[in-house]
Structure formats: C-alpha cells, structure tokens
Amino acid sequence: MTTRWDPPDPRQLPDWRSGMLDYLDAASTKATMREALRAGRFTIVPTVPGIGASEESVGSLLLTTCEKRRLEDAALYYATPDMTALALAAAQTPPTEPVTLSRLPSEAGLIVFGEPIGGYTEDAGAALANTPFGSAGASAVITTPIVAASWSVWDPGEVKLDRGEVRWLYRGQGRAGAIPAGWRGIWITFYSPRGLFSGLPPETVIGTMRDGTAMTAAMIDGHREGQGPVLGWDNEMLLQEGAAFGPPVADTTDSWAHVLYTAWQLMAQQGKSRWAEVEEIPRDRAGAKRDRRQGLTGSSAVRVIRVHSAHRPSPQAAQDDAQGSTGRREPQWACRWPVRPYRRSTCLNPREHAEGGCTHEDRIVSGHIKGPEGAPLRTGDTVHLWDQQPAG
C-alpha cells in the first residue's frame, strides 16, 4: 500500500526544525545538493565567478547556508487539515492583488500542512539517469506530496564571502537570467516528506550505488529510517513584490505558491471576515534550552491555525473528505464547501477610488450552500427546463 503523508503533532515542529538544521550542516547533504545542481534541479542558483571551485560546490554551500539562517529565524506554523482544505478551496481562483510583502505573517517562517497542498509524479529512475547514480533502464514512478514551506524576504546580501561576489541566477518556468541587485520579493522553499519510496515494490531498481550494486526502493527507505529530518528540501521559487498572479500551473511551484499565499491571506483577515483561529503552543523548558544551544533566533512556539468556528465544516464532512484523500496529492474537499469561498477585490480608501488614488486588497468571502435551509443538496450540473418552445 502507498505510504501516506502522516502530519505531526504540532508540538513536534520545533524538534523537526532542529533535525532540518542539523541535516543542512551535514557534508552528505551538500554532496546531494551538488548532484542536484549538476542535474539542473534548482530554481535559484548562486555563483561566484573566479573563486576557483566548481559552480555546484559553491552553490550547494551557499544554498544550505541561506536556508539554515532562514529556518533559524523562522516562526513556526501548523495548518490543520481543515485550514489546508480552506486554503485549497479558496486558491482555485488566483489572488487578484499583486504580491505584497505585508501579507507575510512573519518575516521568516516555516509552515507544515495537515494535508498535501500539491504534488507531482516523477520517474525517479529516469531522473537519476544522467547522474553517477543512474542505472540503465531503471524505472520507479512515484508521487511526491508537497506538505510544508519555508519563506523569508529576499535578502541575498546577507551572504558574505572573503573573496568573490555572489551572483544569483533564476531558472524558473519560462524565465531565466540574473536576479537584479535591487530586486524585492519573497523566497519560498517547498518541502516534501522523506522516505516515501515504500509505496513501490521493495525490489524496484531506482539507480546504482557507489560500489556498482543496484539501488532499490527498500534500500533507500531502510537507509533513511531513523536518519535525517522528516522533511526534505524539494524545490524553491521567488515571488516578486508587485507582480500579478496568473492562472496556476498544475504540479509546479507556481500552483503551490497560490495555496501558500492564500493561506497567508486567510490568516490575516480580521473582523466579520475573519477566517482563522490561532492557538499558540509554547515550547517546553528543556526544548527551549536545546534551541538556544543550537543558536535559534526565531520563536520556538508553534502557532496552530484552524478554521474559525463560524466557518468550520461538520465532523462528518471532514471525515468523508479525509477518507477520500490519498495523502500523496492535494485532496479535492468535495464535501466541505459545495459553493467555494471566492475572492473580492476590496477598496481600502473609497474616497480616492474615482480618482484612481486608492489601493485594493483581496478579501476572501465565505462560500455557502445555495437554496432554502433543509432543501436537498445538489452539486451536479444545472438542468434548464423549457416549458414552451422559445421564440425564434
């Protein structure tokens, strides 16, 4: 049976972060990232011309250093399955406001979702074909869920070297080139669970080990059992301040960013349009001491984000949808919001609207069930009944 994403108890998040930080420090992690850079699997690529080391070696060192600093500074969030459901439902339509830095709930953060916010299917054997670990004819098709994201305001200038100037390149969907020095926006890293090869037959050949023996699904899962963090770095992207959101591209960082940004919007709405309830779970004393020894500057408290009780679906609806979830892809949440929440562009200073001097932001409006209370729920196609021949 395919292994599902099993979300954590929110209290585990600080320890998960500690494991991620230790993993980023490891030489084996930098070696893995060097191979991934050679294979062209990174979107943000730092280079230092004339430094005398390979581009991949420099890139792996700088990327792990940056991600480590961001996680050290990160506020911790856990979005419950219902909150994940709401973000997915509202993200079916792109945000209408441009990318706005004030939408960030904290300057740096790490959020773990109770259900995947997306995923992609890939042949792991084919992906390794052009690396030293490839094996001729190997095929291992797996579905990787995206279950977490870290972020920070883009500030590459914090990375200093004794010699050489760091230049940053972007290799995104349909876009490539140097990132300008004055560029402003948000750096996002998406995470997937480690150790999900157990959905494959154990004998499935994925590649070749360093000694030339076959690398199988069972070997990878066995090697990872009890080693390294639960979450692994999957991909990254940039959101430029002031840029417009377009239609999401399925199974890409673009689509996952729509869901993440929508979650930030839902967390920010207050007053009558409030969507979220936040519970803060403090770190226990022993854990806080470990965090200080590890040099963490961000809070170790975990903010649990739930759907506000005014909008929360019934337990039966949640149970019905949970049974239909694979735990490997974003669920459809068919039972919860028959008429999905939708976006409304709200003017923040109406007196200046006519002259064009106003600003607008998204407000996400509650979905609902149309029709009188107690009437049978219909979610199928509308049928138009003509009781007479239309004129013409």
For the segment 266-291, what is each residue's pLDDT rounded down to a tens digit? 999 988 888 999 999 999 989 988 88
Domain residues for the domain of 257 are 10-339
Q: In this structure, what token pair is assigned to residue 12?
A: 């585990």
Q: In sequence order, which ranges of the chain are alpha helices (DSSP H)?
A: 13-25, 27-38, 55-73, 81-90, 124-127, 217-224, 253-268, 285-293, 315-324
Confidence of residue 1 (pLDDT cuts 50, 70, 90): very low
Output the pLDDT for position 99.
96
Give the DSSP H or E segment for 46. strand 44-47
CB atoms inside a 10 Å sphere around CB 172: 15
Nearest C-alpha neighbor of 21 from the set 65, 59, 62:
65
What is the average per-residue pLDDT within 36-55? Answer: 81
What is the average per-residue pLDDT within 246-256? Answer: 91
Q: Are 237 and 253 in contact (CB under 8 A)?
A: yes
Q: Tell me how many helices (H) and strands (E) the chain has.
A: 9, 16
CA distances from 5 to 144, 230, 236 (A): 10, 10, 20
CA distances from 283 to 69, 75, 205, 287, 296 (A): 20, 12, 42, 6, 13
Output the pLDDT for position 295.
82
Confidence of residue 199 (pLDDT cuts 50, 70, 90): low
Compute the distance between CA of residue 385 and CA of residue 369 in angstroms, rounded to an integer.
22
Region of poorest pLDDT, from 106-110, 115-119, 131-135, 198-202:
198-202
What is the average per-residue pLDDT within 180-199? Answer: 83
Compute the distance between CA of residue 260 and CA of residue 213 in angstroms, rounded to an integer.
41
Evaluate whether residue 3 is within a structural domain. Answer: no
What is the domain count for the chain? Answer: 1
Strands 108-113 and 75-79: parallel
Q: Which residues contact 387 (CB under 8 A, 6 or more apart)?
A: none
Nearest C-alpha neighbor of 261 from the set 84, 93, 103:
103
Output the pLDDT for position 384.
41
Confidence of residue 173 (pLDDT cuts 50, 70, 90): low
CB atoms inside a 10 Å sphere around CB 178: 11
Evaluate whether residue 161 is within a structural domain. Answer: yes
Nearest C-alpha neighbor of 360 from the set 341, 344, 382, 337:
344
Measured at the alpha carbon of residue 41, what is the angle toward residues 36 and 42, in degrees to the nearest 5?
100
Above 80 in pLDDT, residue 158? no
Give the range with max mean pLDDT: 272-281, 356-365, 381-390. Answer: 272-281
Question: Using CA atoms in the order 313, 314, 317, 321, what is the torsion angle rounded to 10 degrees?
Answer: 60
Which amino acid belongs to residue 237? M
Output the pLDDT for position 187.
95
CA distances from 127 to 132, 134, 207, 208, 235 (A): 11, 8, 9, 12, 15
Q: State phi, psi for 235 to the nearest 5 degrees.
A: -165, 170
Give the DSSP H or E segment for 365. strand 360-365
Evaluate whether residue 166 is within a structural domain. Answer: yes
Confidence of residue 174 (pLDDT cuts 50, 70, 90): low
> What global pTM score does this model have?
0.83
Above 50 in pLDDT, residue 336? yes
Above 60 in pLDDT, residue 386? no
